[in-house]
Structure 1
Amino acid sequence: MKCNRCQNEDPKLFAYDHGVYYCRKCIDFSRLEVNEKIKPVKLMHKTWKGKPKLDYELTASQKLASHDVYKHLSNGKDVILYASTGAGKTEICFESICGYLAQGKKVGFAISRRQVVLEIATRLRKAFPELSICEVAQGYTQITDADIIVCTTHQLYRYPYAFDLLILDELDAFPFAGNEVLQAIANQACVGQKLMLSATPDEESMRLVEEKKTELVCLFERPHKHPLIVPKVIQVSVFLQVLIVIYECIKFCRDNKQTLVFVPRKRDGTWLKMILNLFVKTSLVHSSTENKDEILDCFRNKELEVLVCTTLLERGITIPSVQVVVFKGNHSVFTTASLIQIFGRVGRSFKDPKGEGICLCQFSSQSIKDCVYQISKMNDTVYAATKK
C-alpha cells in the first residue's frame, strides 16, 4: 500500500472503510485512497519577457549570487541560497523568476507562515506590476491562480505537478521543517527545480549539499554593506528584565524608533503589553490574534510605538528603523535559528542600517551563545571577503 500524496507506506497509517483503504497520515488535506492517482492541476501559463522594477540596483554581491542561482537552476539542479537576514533573498530570486517566465514556465513561491506570504506577495506586486500575483493562505483562497502564485506550504496540496520553479522560503521554519507530509506535498508540486532560501539552513539541507544533490550559493553581505546586528546579552532576573524592557521602549520612542518585543508565550505578552501601554502605545500579536493584519498595518504606519509578539513574527517582516528586545531569551522556544531571525529584523533599512538588539535572560543558553557566534561569524566572513 502507498499514498500517492505523502508517499506513506506504513500499514499502521492506513484505515479501512467500505471496502477501500485510505491514508490517515495526510487526511488533513482530504481523504485519499490507496494507490489513487493524483491528477496534475490545470493552471494558466504565460510567456513574459520583462524585467522587475526595483527602487535600487542590486549590489555586485547580490548580482553574483543571482547569476549563480539561475545558472545552477538552468542546469537542472536544485539550489539552497544561504543568505543572512536582510541580504535580499527575495530580490536575488528575481532573475530566476524572469528566466522561467520568459520560457512560459510556472513559478510558485511557498512559505511556512501566512504573515510572510502576505508580505512577499506585496513585494512581488511592486517588483512585477505587469503580472498578476495571488496569495493563497488562510483567508485568501478565493483566487488560486495567477502569473506568480505565493502560498503557504500547507496550500501546496492544491498544486500537484504544477511548478517548474518552486521557491521555498525559510525551509527550516516551523511547520515545514521536519514535516514529512508537507515536504512530500512540496516535492509533488514541483516538476522542475526547487530554490530553497534560508538564513539558518538545517543539517539535512547541508547534508544534501555535501552529497552533491543540491547546489549551495552563499551571501552574508547586506545591500547597505553595514554588518549584521550582534545582540547585546543582559543576564538579570525577570523583574529587572521587565524594567529594562520599559526603559528601552521609552528610550527608542524618544528617538522616534519603534520596538518589537519578543516574548516566549502568549501570557507573557498579555501582561507585558498592559504594563507597556502605561508608557507607550503598545499592541500584541500572537497566533490566536484575530486582527493580526490590522495590528501590523498600524505598526507599519507608526500608529503604534511598540509591538509585543511571539515568534510568529520572527521571519519575513521588514519594518524600517525597528529595534528588537527579547524577553526571557533563555526560554526553550527561542532556538538558535529563531534568535538569528529575530535580531535580523534590525538594521535592514538603507536609511537606518544600524540599530540595537537586546537579549534579556536569566542565563545565557546555548541557543543564545550560538546565535551570537553565528552572526559574528557571518560578519567576519563579509569583512574577510572585502579585504581580499
Structure 2
Amino acid sequence: MKCNRCQNENPKLFTYDHGVYYCRKCIDFSRLEVNEKIEPAKLTHRTWVGEPKLNYSLTPSQVEASHTVYHHLCEGKDVMLYAATGAGKTEICFESICGYLSKGKKVAFAISRRQVVLEIAGRLRIAFPELSICEVAQGYTQITDADIIVCTTHQLYRYPYAFDLLILDELDAFPFVGNEVLQAIANQACVGQKLLLSATPDELSMELVKQKKMELVCLFERPHKHPLIVPKVIQVSVFIQVWIVLYLCMKFKREGKQILVFVPRKSDGKWLKLLLNIFVKTDFIHSSTKDKDRILDRFRNKEMSALVCTTLLERGITIPSVQVVVFKGDHSVFTTASLIQIFGRVGRSFKDPDGKGVCLCQALNKSIKDCVSQISKMNDTVYAVTNQ
C-alpha cells in the first residue's frame, strides 16, 4: 500500500473503510485512498516577457547572486540561496521568475507563515504590476490561480504537479521543517526546479549540498553594506529584564523609534503588554490573535510605539527602523535559527542600518552563543570578501 500524496507506506497509518483503504497520515488534506491517482492541477499558463519595476538598483553582490541562481536553475539543478536576513532574497529571485515566465512556465512562492505570504504578495505586486498575483492562505482561498501564486506550504496540496519553479522560503521554519507530509506535498507540487531561501538553512538541505544534489549560493552582504546587527546580551534576573524592557521602550519612543518585544509564551506577552501600555502605546500579537493584519497595519502606520509578539513575527516581516528586544532569551522556544531571524528584523532600513538588538536572559545558553557567533561570522565573511 502507498499513498500517492504523502508517499506513506506504513501499514499502521492506513485505515480500512467501506471496502477501501485510505491514508491517515495526510488526512488533514482530504481523504485519499490507497493508490488513488492524483491529477495535475489545472492552472493557466501564459508567456510574459518583461522586467521587475524597482525603485532601486540591485547591488553588484545581489546581481552576481541573481545570475548564479538562474544559471544553476537553467541547468536543471535545485538551488539553496543562503543569504543573511535583509540581504534581499526575494529580489534575487526576480531574474529567475522573469526567465521562467518568459518561457510560459508556472512559478510559485511557498512560505510557512501566513503573514509572510501576504507581505511577499504585496511586494510582488509592486515589482510586477503587469502580472496577476494571488495569495493563497487562511482567509485567502477564493482565488487560487494567477501568473504568480504565493501560498503557505499547507496550501501546496491544491497544486499537484503544477510548478516549473517552486520558490520555498523559510523552509527551516515551523511547521514545514521536519514535517514529512508537507515536504512530500511540496515535492509533488514541483515538476521542475526548487529554489530554497534561508538565512538559517537546516542540516538536511546542507547535506544535499554536500552530496552535490543541490547548488549553494551565498550572500551575507546587506544592500546598504552595513554589518548585520550583533545582539547585545544582558544576563540578569527576570525581574530586572522587565525593567530593562520598560526602559528601552520609553527610550526608543523618545527617539521616535518603534520596538518589537519578543516573548517566549503567550502568557508572558499578555501581562507584559498590559504593563508597557501604561507608559507607551503597546499591543500584543500571537498565533491565535484574530485581527493580526489590523494590528500589524497599525504598527506599520506608527499608531503604536511597541508591539509585543511571539516567534510569529520572527521571519519575513520588514518594519523600517524597528528595534528588537528578546525577553527571556534563554527560553527553549528561542533556538539559534529563531534568534538569528529575530535580530535580522533590525537594521534593514537604509535610513537606520545601525539599529539596536538586545537579548535578555538569565543564563547564556548554547542558542544565544551560537546566534552571536553565526551573525559575527557572516559579518567577518563580508569583510574578508570586500577587503580582498
- Tell me how far apart the structure 2 counterparts of residues 266 and 282 of structure 1 sit (CA, whole Å): 15
Give how far 1:234 is off: 0.2
What is aligned with 1:287?
287
State the SS of the aligned residue for 1:57. Answer: coil
- 2:106 maps to 1:106: yes
Amino acid at match of 1:33: E
What is aligned with 1:200?
200
Alignment of 1:178-327 (within 5 A): 178-327=178-327
- Tell me how far apart the structure 2 counterparts of residues 142 and 351 of structure 1 sit (CA, whole Å): 38
What is aligned with 1:92?
92
State the SS of the aligned residue for 1:330. Answer: coil
Amino acid at match of 1:43: L
- With structure 2 as the length reference, what TM-score do the two structures score? 1.00
State the SS of the aligned residue for 1:118. Answer: helix
Per-residue CA deviation, residues 361-381 of structure 1 (Å, 9 max, x unaligned), is 001110000000000000000
What is aligned with 1:363?
363
State the SS of the aligned residue for 1:82. Answer: strand
- Which aligned runs of 4 or more in structure 1 are off by greater than 2 angstroms? none
Per-residue CA deviation, residues 194-244 of structure 1 (Å, 9 max, x unaligned), is 000000001111000000000000000000000000000000000000000
Give how far 1:351 is off: 1.3
What is aligned with 2:8?
8
Paired positions, count: 388
Amino acid at match of 2:85: T
- Tell me how far apart the structure 2 counterparts of residues 13 and 370 of structure 1 sit (CA, whole Å): 38
State the SS of the aligned residue for 2:164. Answer: strand
- Tell me how far apart the structure 1 counterparts of residues 356 and 115 of structure 2 sit (CA, whole Å): 24
Give how far 1:357 is off: 0.2
Give how far 1:30 is off: 0.2
Amino acid at match of 1:382: V
Amino acid at match of 1:81: L
Give how far 1:350 is off: 1.0
Per-residue CA deviation, residues 10-58 of structure 1 (Å, 9 max, x unaligned), is 0000000011000000000000000000000110111000100111100
- Tell me how far apart the structure 1 counterparts of residues 253 and 145 of structure 2 sit (CA, whole Å): 43
- Tell me how far apart the structure 2 counterparts of residues 197 and 331 of structure 1 sit (CA, whole Å): 26
What is aligned with 2:344?
344
What is aligned with 2:129?
129
Q: CA RMSD in A?
A: 0.3
State the SS of the aligned residue for 2:188. Answer: helix
- 2:332 maps to 1:332: yes
- Tell me how far apart the structure 1 counterparts of residues 43 and 274 of structure 2 sit (CA, whole Å): 48
- Tell me how far apart the structure 1 counterparts of residues 199 and 245 of structure 2 sit (CA, whole Å): 27
Give how far 1:269 is off: 0.2
- Tell me how far apart the structure 1 counterparts of residues 347 and 130 of structure 2 sit (CA, whole Å): 31
- 2:59 maps to 1:59: yes
- Tell me how far apart the structure 2 counterparts of residues 339 and 364 of structure 1 sit (CA, whole Å): 13
- Tell me how far apart the structure 1 counterparts of residues 105 and 181 of structure 2 sit (CA, whole Å): 26
What is aligned with 2:386?
386
- With structure 1 as the length reference, what TM-score do the two structures score? 1.00
Amino acid at match of 2:40: P
Amino acid at match of 1:280: V
Amino acid at match of 1:85: T
Amino acid at match of 1:212: K
- Tell me how far apart the structure 2 counterparts of residues 300 and 65 of structure 1 sit (CA, whole Å): 30
- 2:17 maps to 1:17: yes
- 2:173 maps to 1:173: yes
Where does structure 2 lack aligned partners over 5 or more consecutive residues? Answer: none
State the SS of the aligned residue for 1:372. Answer: helix
State the SS of the aligned residue for 1:177. Answer: coil
Amino acid at match of 1:38: I
- Tell me how far apart the structure 1 counterparts of residues 182 and 365 of structure 2 sit (CA, whole Å): 31
- Tell me how far apart the structure 2 counterparts of residues 266 and 122 of structure 1 sit (CA, whole Å): 28
Amino acid at match of 1:31: R
- 2:69 maps to 1:37: no
- Tell me how far apart the structure 2 counterparts of residues 126 and 300 of structure 1 sit (CA, whole Å): 17
Where does structure 1 lack aligned partners over 5 or more consecutive residues? Answer: none
Amino acid at match of 2:275: I
- Tell me how far apart the structure 2 counterparts of residues 341 and 257 of structure 1 sit (CA, whole Å): 20
- Tell me how far apart the structure 2 counterparts of residues 254 and 46 of structure 1 sit (CA, whole Å): 52
- Tell me how far apart the structure 2 counterparts of residues 184 and 266 of structure 1 sit (CA, whole Å): 31
Amino acid at match of 1:192: G
- Tell me how far apart the structure 2 counterparts of residues 257 and 123 of structure 1 sit (CA, whole Å): 24
State the SS of the aligned residue for 2:140. Answer: coil
- 2:116 maps to 1:119: no
- Tell me how far apart the structure 2 counterparts of residues 150 and 279 of structure 1 sit (CA, whole Å): 39
